Amino acid sequence: MSSLISTAFEFVPIAIFSAIFFFMVLFIKYTNRLTIRSVGSDICLGALFIQITLLAMPVWMSGEVSINIAGHMAVTIIALLLWITSAWLLKRRKPSRTRSANIYQKLIDYLKKQGNIRESLSYVLGAFTITASLMMVLDFISLKPATWNLQAVQIVLLVPGSVIIGMAGYYVYRYLQKEQLNQTFERFYKEITRDNILITVQSTGTRKHDRDPTQPIVDIIRGSIMRGVLGPSIFGLEILKNSCIELLTTSGMRRQSLDRVTSHFISQIDEIGKLALKMDEDESAAGSIRIIGEVGECAISKGIEVPVEDILRRLFEYYDVLQLRGYEIMKMTIIDAISRIGSAAATHGIESIPPRSGDMLGTIGASAVRDKDRGAIKEISTALYDIGKESAANSLESSVKQTALKLRDIGVSAVQNDMAQEANQIVSYLEVQGTIAASNKLELGTEQAIWSIKDIGVAYGYQHMETGINAAVSALGNIGMESSSKKLDDAVDQALWSLKEVSRYAIADGLDSSIKQSARSFARLAIPEEDKVTATLKDIRKYFDADEADRFSKFEREYISALKAAGAH
């Protein structure tokens, strides 16, 4: 026990000295404007030289000193491997541009994206190597071999001590890195004022760029992208975004000036994004796309429409380029940006933007279905649903109809391409959208949701997909009930007609669960709309001649049973 305590006390000054050395290297490199990202790897290299020096000591001292050559050789080799590993961790790796279902590949892609994880690990390895080397120096100075027990205690102390030193150094590095970038951009950021930007956007000719306060930041970002240095470009893009949003929200400029300011910033960010794509700098390109979407969302909150239409056009241009290059991952960023703009416009009651967003998403969705890109289909259908739901809640009927129509196109194509799960999700989205539209008495929007579900349900019928038919007739029944409660007679008629068109496939094919679900939907609607339901059932009977009468009789029995369960007479 006493040896354990004494070893622990011996380790404390080593850890303190290791930490001091670590932070000294950090600050020396920082004050000399050198890269501080590689400090962990540099310290690993320094520790390696310490080990080589210790191995050479017996030769220099004419054999007067005896050391454990095998042990020191092992530590030297470990230090070499850790140095190579730390340098490898700092090498920039571009993640896959396509999505993979393989869990291992997903993990690798995640680690490639998370540069901070690799950087922090390099710092921990550096702390481990230098601390272990200092412990070997202490062992050398003591001139007495350490026992296995003492070495085990040292290793136990070494691991958590290295993690603490390395992570502390990493957080200091992140702080100093931010300070470096702040110093680089600060004076240019201060120049982006209301007056300076107004002079820029109102001037013409070649003098425009001489006065443009954003140009120095743009130049730094472009230089960073050309050199393949990630930090300044990402940091500079955030400054451009923050400056633009600050001007839009707090400057008090007139509407026309806000239009020009928004267009100016978007043009600058768009040029950066295109350069990043050209230079294969995916992080900067994705950051540009994301920021264009965020600026558009902010512009919507200020009632700005014209620049936002330009933003949507630019985003769609990006999509065309990424589609040609097969950059699947980055396309999700564009889908998210278009969705956020469309949803924000619907929330603020701007009628022109949501239909345009929905049209773009519909075009992208058609392409995703052709490629059988399930991930993209899910994201696009969710985006259309969000826009449609907000449009319905804010009584934007044209947008409700547009999104329902696009969801129908994607849903029908999904059924035809054996993607039933994605089509089922679209049916549930249309159900919610149609119910909200009915509750707000948007009859045309409600009818379009009904027709969309009917078309998907018929596609299910052609494919004999029992689960899909169940989802469609259930959704139609729910929208029909809400339409009935709001006295939307035409919507009720369309719901019953659509139920008839979908249900007859279930009856004709003898699909038991679908027949029961269809009967339940009709029975629920029969309570408030008995005459209409009775007339609809008579129409359904006409589809079945004498040879098929048994099939309709089966449905009729289920309907009577469902009526009794619903408490109807």
Query: Would residue 145 count as lying in a domain?
Result: yes
Question: Structural domain of residue 44, as residue ranges?
Answer: 2-177
Distances (CA, A) of 318 to 278, 285, 304: 12, 10, 22
Q: Among 79-83, 159-163, 210-214, 440-444, where is mean pLDDT lowest?
A: 210-214
Rounded to a whole number of angstroms, the CA Rg of the chain reads 34
Query: Would residue 149 count as lying in a domain?
Result: yes
Cβ-based neighbour number of residue 139 at 10 Å? 22
pLDDT tens digit string along 339-353? 989 999 898 888 888
Query: Would residue 159 count as lying in a domain?
Result: yes
Query: Would residue 318 count as lying in a domain?
Result: no
532, pLDDT greater than 70? yes
Mean pLDDT of 5-27: 80
Domain count, the chain: 1
Q: What is the pTM of this model?
A: 0.78
Phi, psi of 322 (to 5 degrees): -65, -35
For residue 478, the model assigns a pLDDT of 93
Give the confidence band of 112 by pLDDT, cuts at 50, 70, 90: low
Mean pLDDT of 243-262: 86
Query: Would residue 508 count as lying in a domain?
Result: no
Report whether 296 contacts 311 (CB < 8 A): yes
Query: Would residue 85 count as lying in a domain?
Result: yes
Buried b (16+ CB within 10 A) or exposed e, 423-440: bbbbbebbbbbbbbbbbb
Which pair of structure tokens corresponds to residue 74? Answer: 């092992």
For residue 237, the model assigns a pLDDT of 92
pLDDT tens digit string along 381-433? 999 999 999 998 888 888 999 999 999 999 999 999 888 899 999 999 999 99
Which pair of structure tokens corresponds to residue 543? Answer: 């589809």
Phi, psi of 38 (to 5 degrees): -95, 15
Query: Would residue 340 count as lying in a domain?
Result: no
The single-letter DSSP state of residue 94 is: P
Mean pLDDT of 273-278: 89
153, pLDDT greater than 70? no
Tell me the pLDDT of the chain averaged across its residues. Answer: 83
Mean pLDDT of 452-465: 92
DSSP 132-175: HHHHHHHHHHHTSPPPHHHHHHHHHHHHHHHHHHHHHHHHHHHH
106, pLDDT greater than 70? no
Tokens 């622990």, located at residue: 8
Question: Which residue, 94, 153, 85, 157, is CA-closest to 121?
Answer: 85
For residue 538, the model assigns a pLDDT of 87
For residue 310, the model assigns a pLDDT of 86
pLDDT tens digit string along 182-209? 888 888 888 888 888 888 887 765 554 4
% residues pLDDT > 70 (the chain): 86
Give the confidence band of 456 by pLDDT, cuts at 50, 70, 90: very high
Tokens 């058609």, located at residue: 366
